[in-house]
Every structure is written in structure tokens, then in C-alpha cells.
Amino acid sequence: MHTGLIIEAAETYVAKQYQEHPHPNLVYHNLEHTKLVVAAAQQIAAHYRLADNDLLIVCVACWFHDLGYLMGETKMHEEKGAEMARAFLNVQQIPEDVQQQVTGCIMATKMPQHPKNLLEEIVCDADLFHLGTKEFRDRSRLLRQEMELYSGREIPGAVWNAGSLRLQESHHYFTAYCKALLQQQKDENIAKLKSKLEKQEEKAHKKEKAAKHAAEDAPVEAAVAVVVPDATVTTAEEKKKDKKKDKEKEAKPGRGVETMFRTTSTNHIRLSSMADSKAHIMISVNSIIISVILGVLFRRLEDYPNLIIPAFIFLMTGVLTIIFSVLATRPNINVGKFTKADIDSKKTNLLFFGNFHKMSLEEYSWGMTEMMKDNEYVYGSMIQDIYHLGVVLGKKYKQLRIAYNIFMFGLIISVAAFLIAALFFPVKN
């Protein structure tokens, strides 16, 4: 099964459908949106290093997941997209089990999303990837425009923003990758929506009139609920509660702090790489010296007994330098496991591979998810990571300094010994 060829065929098929069945109302659920979802899925899949067969399932599902809109379906567009995907895969002679997985991935995007495995999680996160990006505002504007075209009337800004906020707050990413990558921007998007709603609140309440206006707005709100489930106008009481919650939240460290962590960690890693390079140079140079001494000089010691001591000093210099250079680069591996109790008590640092390399992906994902729920735990782990990097660096450079000192002084002593042996203790013929 040629994965790349089938994915390309799916892209060609879907693009052709959009070309042959143009739909002017689809300003959001169009080919551009589909391409963005596929690109997001490929980005997430690359992180998890999916096998070719799994990558095919994810990509084909993304290409077909919204194709039902093009065929006039809205509420049942997932079912129509899955049906069209099956028809396409049948033509491509794809096995039934793969078809079922593609169908499962498409159906998992139905709101509210309930993915059952990693592949379905990737497709769901790719479908709503924009919620955690800076493009959220533009994508939301296009979605609003599309809903207005379908409903035939304008959707009030307060109604739309309330529905968008409800979706943002109820939605969560499923893959650990998206949680780590997108959550911060998603929180910023939520904060901007709340700020907008606060400004619109007074204006919106003034425009609200009796039951007649509420009845007129009901179909519009229902239209919004098709795409944004349970979208309702946030009441003043709910707004006050949100404000209280915001005040109760502890201030999160700013970007400056995060930049400091990133810069410090990068500098530590760069210094570690430099130390390793220096150690490798010393190992290579002294390995050559030892090879020369053992291969050439030792054969001539019978003819030049006066050079035995200088040769021995030179040999020991090379050996000791190599020993300390190897110690400077020798890795230390931890046990590689953690327990639920370690996570609950915040005793393990999941940012260091030595603490999890023997755990399964599911266990590690769970641990990282739990850690990311607690800002104190996250930043504490980052502090630990930088501290331990510093400790390792200190040990590396100390041993590397010893190696350089041995090489420098040993070389001086060896050369002096050779000169003394040659000048004051010449071989008598």
C-alpha cells in the first residue's frame, strides 16, 4: 500500500469535488480550511512519528471530514464525509479495517468530540487547531460570515462572541503535543473574548427588548448552536462570576520569565555540547599519541634504554587525559520510571528523559498532562531541569579541566624528560 500516493489521490479527489461543486456560502468550511486541518494533522503526526498506515488514516480522514458540507449537509456532514471517504477507499482497494478507522476518525470530530484512540485524537485536535493560534480571530470571523449566509440574517456580535467563548471554555485538546503547544495562546484568545464581551455587555442589554426580540433572535442562536454547541448569551450574573474567577486566579509568569527559562536552558545545552567537543578532541589526540608510542617508540626502547622513563611518562599522560575526558562525557542514566505518587507529590521531573525513558507513551502522556495542569509544578520542573543541567556542566568542566592540565603539564614533563635523556644520558655504542 503506497501511503504517499493514496494521500495525494485523496487530495486530488477532494480538490476536484470543491472545483466541480462550488458553494458560495462555504467561506469557512472550504478547501482552504481542509488544507489547514491536514497540515495541522501532519504536524501532530510528525511529533508522534506515526507509522505509514496510521498516517494514511489520519490524512485521508482530514481530507474528507468536512466534505459533507459541500454536498449540502450541515448537521450530518460527518456521516456524509465518512460515506464519501469509504467510496474513495474502495476504489483504491484499501482494506476494510483501514476504512473503519478512517470512518472512526471522521465521526470523532462530531461535536462534542469524543475520540477513542490516538489517531482520532490527532484528527480532532487538527480540526480545532485554530482555537489555540493567533489565526483564531480571522477563522472565527469567516465562520460567523458562513453562518449568516446560511441563516439569511446577521448574527449579533455579543451572541457570536458568547458562543465562541462557550466553545473555547468547553473545548480541550486531547494530545499532549497540542496541550503543550497551543494552550497558552488559547488562554489568550479566551481572555480577548471575555474582554470583548465585557465591552459589549452594556450595549447588548440596552438593545434587548421584550420577548418579541428574543423570539426573533432564537433562530439565529439555534444556527450558531449547530457549529458552537450550547451557545447562549452570557448573562450579567455569569459575567460577574467569571470576573470573580479571574481575580481569584494567580498571576501566571509572563513571557519574560519563559524567555529566561528558554535562554538559560539553551545556553546550558550549548555549553554541554562545547564540553563534549573539547573532550572528543582530547580523546582523539591522545589516542593517536598512544598509538604512536606503542607502535613505534616501544620497538626501539631496546636500542635506546635511556628513553624508557620519558616514554612511560608520555604514555601515562595520554592514558590519564583520555580517562578524564571519557569521564567528562560519560552519561549517567536514572532508573527511568515514575509512579502516580511521584506525580501527585511533584517529586519527579518529566522534562528530563532519565526519569521516564522506561515508561510507556500512555503513562508519560498522562504524567505530562497532570503536570501541565499545575503551573507551579511546570515551572518547578523547569527550575529543576536547569539546576541539574548546571550541576552536570560543573562536573563536566571540572573533569575536562583536569584532563587539559594533565595533558599540558604531562606534555611539558615528557618533552623535558626526552631532552634530558638525550643530552645527559646518551646511548653508548
Give the whole-angstrom CA distance, residue 27 versus residue 69.
11
The reported pLDDT for the residue numbered 332 is 74
Least confident of 114-123, 280-289, 291-300, 403-412: 291-300
For residues 337-365, one letter each, b for 16 or more C-beta atoms within 10 angstroms of the residue's C-beta and e for the rest, the string is ebeeeebeeeebbbbeeebbeebeeebbb
What is the reported pLDDT for 86?
Answer: 93
Q: What does the pLDDT read at residue 213? A: 55
> In this prediction, what percent of the chain has a pLDDT beyond 70?
86
Task: Answer whether 45's CB lies under 8 Å from 55's CB.
Answer: yes
Residue 233: per-residue pLDDT: 42
For the full predicted model, state whether its pTM sits above 0.85. no
- Percent of the chain scoring above 90 in pLDDT: 31
CATH of domain 3-248: 1.10.3210.10
Round to whole Å and give the CA distance between 229 and 249.
Answer: 27
> DSSP character for 235?
P
Amino acid identity of residue 103, one-letter, is: T
d(CA 86, CA 6): 13
Of the pLDDT bands very low, low, confident and very high (cuts 50, 70, 90), residue 240 is low
Tell whether the model's pLDDT for residue 310 goes beyond 90: no
CA dist 31 and 165 (Å) reads 26
Task: Enter the DSSP assignment of 353.
Answer: G
- The chain-wide mean pLDDT, for the chain, equals 82
Q: Look at residue 1 in the predicted model and tell me its pLDDT.
A: 55
8 Å CB contact between 214 and 208:
yes
| pLDDT computed for residue 270 by the predictor | 83
pLDDT for res 427: 67
- Tens digits of per-residue pLDDT, 399-417? 999 999 999 999 999 899 8
At 207, the pLDDT band (50, 70, 90 cuts) reads: low
CA dihedral 338, 350, 171, 11 (to 10 degrees): -110
Burial group, residue 18, by CB count within 10 angstroms (0-12, 13-18, 19+)? middle
The Cα–Cα gap between 57 and 60 comes to 5
CB-based burial, 138-162: b 16+ in 10 Å, e otherwise:
ebbebbbebbbeebeeebbebbbbb
Closest residue by Cα to residue 338 from 329, 330, 348 = 348
pLDDT at 420 over 60: yes
Whole-number pLDDT of residue 211: 52
Task: Name which residue leads in pLDDT, 61 or 199.
Answer: 61
Q: Which whole number is the average pLDDT over 69-85?
A: 86
Q: Residue 217, Cβ neighbours under 10 Å: how many?
A: 16
3-state SS record for 132-187: HCCCHHHHHHHHHHHHHHHHCCCCCHHHHHHHHHHHHHHCCCCCHHHHHHHHHHHH
Q: What is the pLDDT of residue 210?
A: 52
Confidence bin at 428 (pLDDT 50/70/90): low
Q: Is the pLDDT of residue 329 over 50?
A: yes
How confident is the model at residue 423, as a pLDDT?
86
Amino acid symbol at 164: S
Within 10 Å of residue 201's Cβ, how many Cβ atoms? 17
Please check the confidence at residue 359 and state whether its pLDDT lies above 90. Answer: no
6 or 269: which leads in pLDDT:
6
Long-range contacts of 42-51 (CB under 8 A, 24+ apart): 44/122, 44/125, 44/126, 44/175, 44/177, 44/178, 45/122, 47/177, 48/118, 48/122, 48/175, 48/177, 50/119, 50/122
| Lowest mean pLDDT segment, chosen from 44-53, 80-89, 143-152, 235-244 | 235-244
Q: Is the pLDDT of residue 2 over 80?
A: no
pLDDT at residue 186 above 80?
yes
The ranges assigned to domains in the chain are 3-248, 255-339+392-424
